A = this chain, B = another copy of it.
Amino acid sequence: MEETPKGSRLHIAIFGRRNAGKSSLINALTSQDIALVSNVPGTTTDPVYKAMEILPIGPVMIIDTAGIDDVGDLGALRVERTMQVLNKTDLAVIVIEPEDGVTNFEAQLIKEIRKRNVPIAGVINKSDLMAVAPDKVAVWSEALDLPLLTISAKTGQGIEELKRTMIKLAPDDWEGPQLIGDLVSPGDTVVLVVPIDLAAPKGRLILPQVQTIRDLLDNDVCAVVVKERELKEALENLKNPPRLVVTDSQEFMKVGADTPPGVMLTSFSILLARHKGDLETLVAGAKAIENLQPGDKVLISEGCTHHRQADDIGKVKIPRWLRQAVGGELDFEWVSGGTFPADLEKFKLIVHCGACMLNRREMLYRLAMAREAGIPIVNYGLLIAQIHGILYRALAPFPLAQMILEE
């Protein structure tokens, strides 16, 4: 059920000379061992497209550019093949081998990539084997007019920082996973449970609800929109059960009781967490709540200068729920609007708002900062679901995320 249409995957091409460690870097980024790793140059022989997940970036298409990484200058044929790859590339990563350093190959490659306006992240790999002196890094960086990160694909050093750079460089029109369209098939019926409370302005629906209805229509699905009170009746009025029921988090208990066990149930928060951020990273953050101890420091981060209502959730309800879960006091800090505090390492958990005012890239950037600091991060919706013991059922459409919660 978790197929992602090609269009919503960020296409990342990994460039570099033979043995610069392209395949190892792919493994480090994706925490998978799909690419064949060997220390014989040129093990991979053709550009290979691999649909993978990078946390917290989400579904990506990695393009492994073996076969155009021969030693020496770019010949006409290799330029052509590079161009074919670049036609499909949203973001290029250039991997530099520390012993050989920057050569004509990298310089020409960057020239070709820049012709296409494709953003570039530059890394010097193998920091575990060879430490390149900072002044040498500066010289190379200036020669290429490109910031260079020092990383080790083998030890993982700098990998999270590289991910953060990649998020920063991702194109503006990159959207990530659909809200719901990839979870349904044409002709399906999906029930949306929309409580009408003080949150929704008169005569309006909140944006995620509208986006979900529209995404369903775009995917030839019938959307049944109903309040929690009328849900039971609405389900009984359908001859064929719906493919999915999506509810506002605050009504999950009641909706869970009214939805037959055979019908998959999820929440708008979870759909949004996946669409706007990275579901797996946030689920790992939800799981980390169980490790909190009394006295731990918790950061509550609100995306915007907030309305009274967001205020109430972040300032009152979430602290209360977390205290109850931990069975003792916690040391809360709040931050809003801008970025995270510099000393992020002191926190045991970051709780982020639903990010309704942030775009996907901004939210992913924050997730990447948290990962870099090694701090679990969860958002309001997933925290609420986890605290109330309903997150597991609500992740039914997302087996990978369910696995993270079970671990």
Contact = CB atoms under 8 A, between A and B. Distances in A.
Interface of A: 186-187, 189, 194, 196, 200, 203-205, 210-211, 213-218, 220-227, 229-230, 233-234, 236-240
Nearest to A188: B230
Given A189-B237, A210-B210, 13 more contacts: A186-B230, A189-B234, A196-B218, A200-B214, A203-B210, A203-B214, A204-B210, A205-B214, A220-B227, A222-B225, A223-B224, A223-B225, A236-B239
A298 B216 CA distance: 42
Contact of A233 (B222, B225, B227): B222
Contacts of A226: 217, 222-223
A216 B204 CA distance: 11
Contacts of A225: 213, 216-217, 222-225
26 contacts: A186-B230, A194-B217, A196-B214, A196-B217, A203-B210, A203-B211, A204-B210, A204-B211, A205-B210, A205-B213, A205-B214, A213-B225, A217-B225, A217-B226, A217-B227, A220-B227, A220-B229, A220-B230, A222-B224, A222-B226, A222-B237, A223-B225, A223-B226, A224-B224, A237-B238, A237-B239
Contacts of A189: 234, 237
Contacts of A215: 203
Contacts of A218: 196
Contacts of A216: 225
A186 B226 CA distance: 12
Given A210-B204, A211-B204, A230 B224 contact: no
A236 to B, nearest CB: 7
A83 B351 CA distance: 55
A371 B223 CA distance: 42
List the 9 closest pairs (A to B, CB-CB), nearest first.
Answer: A223-B225, A222-B234, A222-B226, A203-B211, A237-B239, A224-B224, A196-B217, A217-B227, A222-B230
A203 B216 CA distance: 10
Contacts of A227: 217, 220
A225 B194 CA distance: 14
The interface centre, meaning the residue of A204, A205, A223, A229 with most chain B CB atoms within 10 A of its CB, is A223
A213 B186 CA distance: 22
Given A222-B233, A224-B223, A204 B214 contact: yes
Nearest to A226: B222
Contacts of A221: 230
A2 to B, nearest CB: 21
Q: For A204, A221, A230, A240, which residue has the most chain B Cβ atoms within 10 angstroms?
A: A230
A231 B58 CA distance: 35
Nearest to A201: B214
A179 to B, nearest CB: 8
A377 to B, nearest CB: 26
A247 to B, nearest CB: 14
A238 B194 CA distance: 20
A224 B230 CA distance: 13
Nearest to A223: B225
A157 B225 CA distance: 50
